[in-house]
Structure 1
């Protein structure tokens, strides 16, 4: 008789910002380290649990989840006691992340043709058509609004507003010239350019905004403590094994690092606080 293994029920809300293969790889690591089975749910319609539906953590349908920082900060604001932050997060490569710290950035991108017409800074994009993933995205919308506000601008800065539905779609709209510029999650751009025509060489990063708070990994509070600790230990030590390190490098992940609730306060909360300001006026 085969041995019955425990099952870890996982959901990712991070696709298509990240490829689902990244989360399949993480589950491979956890299955090996915890000697368990895993199941992966893929939810691309929301950056976190749907606020108008029964909470999957309270209903005990999910053990572990990957979600957007904006979704986690909303959950914190609503004080959902059915989940907690797991103290670990991925560290992604970026040209300005020279210290290899957790967090990510918002890349302001244009087509190379735009760069050739003397567009050199964010302010040169006044009146241009803007693609964004959704209004609640920290990297796709909120940090852009905050940056423009700091420069004395407001929502009248934008030309046409094109809601793409995802960072990947925003990048593709710039590449195909459907949009003149976009703000995209830097980790999306890092991976997706490798799969675009000519390696996405016609997409130019004009400026980089941030650092934004790390991607939260959350767990059901009912999950046994030893399982939580084992998950954290397994992820923190991935970079010590060359075979795993090389596989994660394909997705731009350098390592996993410690995380805490404190990083979602301060500057991160200030970006989140722009919830009252909208792209259109």
Structure 2
């Protein structure tokens, strides 16, 4: 059944705390003002996308959401009726490598005082490495893709640690618990903006990608009119001087039209690494 005129706009984000909650608060504040309807934001930090038995889109508790691309594709591929569909708007985060594409990269970071030892990815052979989660595109999949391209596998590293989040992986590098880690480029940027005193301590060895930005998703049976109004509003957001300024403060350069084709980037990487895993020592 499709909602004709929902009275409130209910949103959920699964991307906090790796990404600042202010990003999603700003989107919802803008939509509330533009659509002239109250909005609410839930943030769920335990998962990067809805678990099958707690799908807020299926229960009608969420109309719009922000999640990682891996979880979004899983919902579409594994659930007969996932009750989600792509909102065809992509968030473009500031990054000189991105240009005006709704993509991001995985920054392989190390401590700057190891610059004499590590000059390229191959130099990490036999060293300790951290990643966030096994289903993380930027933490695990892109690393497996790079290892396969270099005709090797996870045995390339002496030890592999699953930290639990990109922020925890950064801390492991800073504390010298590992030699390097794979970090979502957007997470690293926000971390350094908030903690500029660490900027000289960390160096990006290489950046892998590109990968598709996190999808904005709709509850499938949200009214067609509401979906159209939300898309039009989001695409117009960077053109509004007041809200463009707010976006710049959040290091967001644009919101642009996207299609499911963008997420084929991830499918190509996942197809390339079928059967491969990182084998961590849990930390």
- Alignment partner, residue 270 of structure 2: 272
Count of aligned pairs between the two proteins: 273
Shift in Å at residue 234 of structure 1?
1.4
Task: Write the deviation string for residues 30-51 of structure 1: whole angstroms up to 9, x where unpaired.
Answer: 1001111111111111110013
Q: Residue 207 of structure 1: SS of its match in structure 2?
A: strand
Q: For the residues of structure 1 that align with 2:243 and 2:128, how far apart are their CA atoms?
A: 41
Q: Is the 1:85–1:217 Cα contact (8 Å) retained in structure 2?
A: yes
CA distance 1:80–1:179, change in 2 (3 Å):
farther
| Contact persistence 2:75–2:82 (CA under 8 A) | no
Length-normalised TM-score, structure 1: 0.92
Q: Is the 8 A contact 1:91 1:257 kept in 2?
A: yes
Secondary structure at the residue paired with 1:84?
A: strand
The answer to whether the Cα contact below 8 Å between 1:92 and 1:100 also exists between their aligned partners in 2 is no
Corresponding residue for residue 109 of structure 1: 109
What whole-Å deviation, never above 9, does each CA across 1:171-219 have from its counterpart, x for those lacking one? Answer: 2221222221011111111111112251522110110100101211111
Partner of 1:34: 35
| Preserved CA contact (<8 Å) 1:93 1:100 | no
Kindly provide the CA deviation profile for residues 67-90 of structure 1, in whole angstroms up to 9, marking residues without a partner as x: 001101111212535111101010
Alignment of 1:1-150 (within 5 A): 6-51=7-52, 53-78=53-78, 79-97=80-98, 99-115=99-115, 117-150=116-149
TM-score w.r.t. length of structure 2: 0.92
CA separation of 1:49/1:257 partners in 2, compared to 1, >3 Å: closer, same or farther? same
**Counterpart contact for 1:175–1:200, Cα < 8 Å:** no
Match runs of 1:187-266 below 5 Å: 187-196=186-195, 198-265=197-264
CA distance in 2, matches of 1:196, 1:110: 16
> In the aligned structure 1, how far is the partner of 2:130 from the partner of 2:150?
20
Task: Please list every run of 5 or more consecutive structure 1 residues that lacks an aligned counterpart in the other structure.
Answer: none
Q: 1:199 to 1:36 in 2, by over 3 A?
A: farther
